[in-house]
Structure 1
């Protein structure tokens, strides 16, 4: 064997060894995260445990942005610096949301915190054969988990941004999943693929788009971030849905589209409220939910009088006439309009 041939063979072996080591590191990190989520009690359903074990997050987050000083640093899978690649991989498998798309320094898309995703998927309460609409395609990771659980033919994911849907479609295809990935205004749903048994939303809403109700089968469930919580609505018919918030907090990128509006800033509406209460998650939730209806001092007085109520005591009703939030009872004394749907 000549020197050149020997060098080429050595280089090829070194490349294969590096690829094997990288694959092993990714598999190890993925398995460790699944164990962590299971230990935290968010993967009690063996079917969701199997989905998280089958769908590696790194495929959907080939790069992400992390804040550093006044700017952002991009960590990516193809970084020529081995330490840079290691930081990327470690970051991907931390249980935290990751900024995946910035525009003019503003976050427009992210990969959600895996433990919150697991909680939301469990709360979605899907059954075999259910048709699911996801609002906010993001990286495609959540759609892949749904595909594994239900089959790709039962999954539709929508996003307003064509760059996001193209990227999500490519990530999904890498693992052999081909659900319907639609570029469009999620606030309008996806009538061409309706009716749906479940609608799962991965962006914060100012109110529930009424169009969704008409695209649901009776008894369907809508799970959506609203205020700083997660509302779980049961759809009775095309004109009515109602339900309570879950106990967990939830912070997502705001919905962009026809009914989009930024959620109120609690610090901006809470003039005169003690800082320690602005930082209290339970009160912050109520403050945002009632912004523009109750003065912050009124909200504080009510919150204290009612025993500092947790999120699950609040609910939302959606009808053809409008939308309102309430405490304990939709027909009770504490009801606040959310706006026109």
Structure 2
């Protein structure tokens, strides 16, 4: 776990127990239940067709995974903005019109807010097309061991299980309520990966080594602990600023890579490295550039190292560079972002790595 905060989901909501196992409406007539199953099946099939037509399911293995794993099982409810508050749409709502709205929402290509805490989003179900792009970019091979940081609803873990097998998938989330709920969703479809409650910034050393690490929450920097849990040549794909960094791990002390062209907006990581550097744009930044998503990406990446005005001058001087021209290096002595060349002249520290040395 692009679009407003998809991504890795979490939360708790007043009056919401967080128990996410879908519940059957025991009073419903069997014909009505069969009709509901047919509607859900048709909506699921339509989504797979749409993602295929959009070109994000070119890999037959991932297309088969999306066809086999229905999203609605992992999103029994979600929240939409309603006035100054939120409305919960639920798959078992007694109102047929509201159930229909829930089903349409579940199978839209959009992120869904699945958990709120004190009105703030803490967990979501990521946008399916972004999930498909990230899974393709992860470049898994048969037999790869994958660590997912940010379990959310469990939907992404189910796709990984279908592609690789349960025993090769580990997924971690900080919130026990989230992991319990995801475990129930996964079990409902027969998937049993290792679902771990813990700080994702520390990885899961008990299940290492990993060939791939997939992150579905925005980071301020790459936790150094992950490198030591990877095999040489492993790939880490993680949201950073508003982009996706693809790192190749050399060893426990070094990883490096470039950003993909894909924009990505996720719920922030909670835990040991949850503090993100950065400033808000200051005076003197033209409004149209404050709203420019490419410039916002650079501003987020260089926040704390460059004044927003300096970032704007450099961005203009370098021809308004796209995400692919930026990269990140993680080394024993720290980590830094760079433009075009990791050796400079344009490099920016990503902040102190609190996990280095742990």
Instruction: Classify the TM-score, shorter chain.
Output: over 0.9
Which of 310, 315, 318 aligns to 2:330? It is 318
Whole-angstrom distance in 2 between the partners of 1:334 and 1:124: 27
Which of 289, 312, 329 aligns to 1:300? It is 312
Equivalent position SS for 2:190: coil
Which of 145, 149, 171 aligns to 2:185? It is 171
Note if 1:26 corresponds to 2:33.
no
Whole-angstrom distance in 1 between the partners of 2:230 and 2:163: 20
Whole-angstrom distance in 2 between the partners of 1:292 and 1:158: 29
Note if 1:137 corresponds to 2:151.
yes
**8 Å CA contact 1:205, 1:263 repeated in 2:** no
Report the Cα offset of residue 297 of structure 1: 1.2
The residue aligned with 2:288 is 276
The residue aligned with 1:331 is 343
Q: RMSD of the alignment, in Å? A: 1.2
Whole-angstrom distance in 1 between the partners of 2:271 and 2:311: 30
User: In proportion to residue count, which structure has more helix?
Assistant: 1
Report the Cα offset of residue 217 of structure 1: 0.1
Report the Cα offset of residue 262 of structure 1: 4.1
Q: How does 1:35-184 map to 2 (within 5 A)?
A: 35-184=49-198
Distance 1:13 1:195, change over 3 A: closer
The residue aligned with 1:209 is 223
Q: Of the two structures, which has the highest relative contact order with CA contacts closer than 8 Å and spacing of 6 or more?
A: 2
Report the Cα offset of residue 49 of structure 1: 0.3
Distance 1:13 1:244, change over 3 A: closer
**8 Å CA contact 1:254, 1:263 repeated in 2:** no
Equivalent position SS for 2:272: coil
The residue aligned with 1:7 is none
Report the Cα offset of residue 271 of structure 1: 2.7
The residue aligned with 1:6 is none
Whole-angstrom distance in 1 between the partners of 2:244 and 2:329: 14
Whole-angstrom distance in 1 between the partners of 2:145 and 2:47: 28
Whole-angstrom distance in 2 between the partners of 1:18 and 1:235: 52
Distance 1:15 1:298, change over 3 A: same
* TM-score when normalising by structure 1: 0.95
Report the Cα offset of residue 340 of structure 1: 1.6
Whole-angstrom distance in 1 between the partners of 2:27 and 2:232: 59
Report the Cα offset of residue 16 of structure 1: 1.1
Equivalent position SS for 2:151: coil
Equivalent position SS for 2:143: coil
Q: How does 1:196-235 map to 2 (within 5 A)?
A: 196-235=210-249
Deviations 1:138-162 (A, max 9, x none): 0000000000000000000000000
Deviations 1:71-119 (A, max 9, x none): 0000001101011111100000000000000011111100000000000
Unaligned runs of 5+ in 1: 1-11
Whole-angstrom distance in 2 between the partners of 1:180 and 1:30: 26
Unaligned runs of 5+ in 2: 1-25, 354-358
**8 Å CA contact 2:223, 2:273 repeated in 1:** yes
Distance 1:18 1:233, change over 3 A: same
**8 Å CA contact 1:270, 1:278 repeated in 2:** no
Which of 199, 216, 233 aligns to 1:185? It is 199
Q: How many residues align?
A: 328
**8 Å CA contact 1:227, 1:263 repeated in 2:** no
